Copies of this chain bind each other. A is one copy, B any other.
Amino acid sequence: MRQRIGIKEVAAAAGVSTTTVSHALSGKGRLPEGTRARVREVAEQLGYRPNVSARKLGGGSTGLLALAVSQVEDLTFQLGDFDYFASLIREATTAALDRGYALAIAPAAAAEDALHKIPADGALVVDPVPDDASIAYLRGQGVPIVTTGRLLDDGDGYWVDNDHAAGVGRVLDHLHAVGARRIALVAPRSFASYIVDVRAGYAGWCAAHDCEEIVGIAPDVTEQGGFAASSALLSDPDPPDAIYAVLDRLAIGVLLAAAAADVDVPGDLRVAACTDSVAAQTARPPLTTLGLNPEQIGREAIGLLIDLVEGLPVSPGHRLVPTTLIERESTLGSPARAR
């Protein structure tokens, strides 16, 4: 009948009061280092685990951060890229644990309800959508928030994202350098800031390079969506000679559409994608991608969030994470020609 070890048990074992234990563990109060260390040791030995609920109730912090992944109601939002999210979340979790925090998942479905039920000190919202109910709720609660990708309807606040403006330019420059002159963009409608940014970057680049803007709107963010959008583009009398898809899964759909339409990639069509992944790497031909360094995004976002939670001084505004262009056959073509 192993009973939970609470602060009381620790206090008894250490021969001090519960107040002292609380202070020793939290680092607050006035205690000599000696007592502090002794209490900590006893707590450790007894395997003391604080009760999160009790902490929260007493007005303290719980050491819990909510991780909310936004969703779009009317769009089949199947999480565009698995590897991206997995990397981001993995790194975020690790970074949080390093500083003594745990990440609790708030499902996108009942996000608001979930956030109410999770006694979190702060929240990380991944790819928020405009008028995000969970964000409004968190704001009301006064809970610190950091988003990855900025809020479209409110660019203020703290967010971490890639430098998409620079990233788009890099990809388009690359496509142009390998000979593309009619570069199309395949993207879903703009439900998240990075899509807006990429589209804006694309428009700007086209204007600067005197190129026609060709945009194919994908109905969803899966391979199907990419297939549909690019099939339409390819059947045009004056089809593009390059396609940049804003998600790797869309790009894989583009490759499928090209194969179906007997268009040679990269001979007649160069294809590139935003977001690197194993799937992009193993596609036929392997896809040139813009790596987004999700690990770094996750790490920075969590660092920022914890600073906010702990009331540490942070410089206001956002953080930009660089992108990495990964050149593969889908735009380079030499290995394909070698065949």
Contact = CB atoms under 8 A, between A and B. Distances in A.
A160 to B, nearest CB: 19
A56 interface: yes
Interface string A92-114: 01100100101111111110011
Given A86-B79, A142-B2, A224-B282, A94 B119 contact: no
A114 B63 CA distance: 13
Interface in A31-89: 47, 49-57, 60, 62-64, 67, 78-79, 82-83, 86, 89
A83 B93 contact: no
Contacts of A57: 51, 53-54, 57
A227 interface: yes
A47 B141 contact: yes
Contact of A105 (B67, B110, B227): B67
Select the residue from A60, A107, A283, A284 with max chain B CB neighbours within 10 A.
A107
B53 A62 contact: yes
Contacts of A4: 60
Interface of A: 2, 4, 47, 49-57, 60, 62-64, 67, 78-79, 82-83, 86, 89-90, 93-94, 97, 100, 102-110, 113-114, 116-119, 141-142, 222-224, 227, 249, 252-253, 256, 259-260, 278-279, 281-284
A2 B144 CA distance: 12
A104 B102 contact: yes
Count the copies: 2
A52 B117 contact: yes
A33 to B, nearest CB: 23
Contacts of A100: 117
A53 B63 contact: yes
A64 B102 CA distance: 10
Nearest to A56: B53
Contacts of A2: 142
Contacts of A224: 278, 281-282
Contacts of A278: 78, 222-224
A93 B105 contact: yes
Contact of A94 (B82, B97, B109): B109
Given A114-B93, A282-B227, A102 B119 contact: yes
A109 B60 CA distance: 29
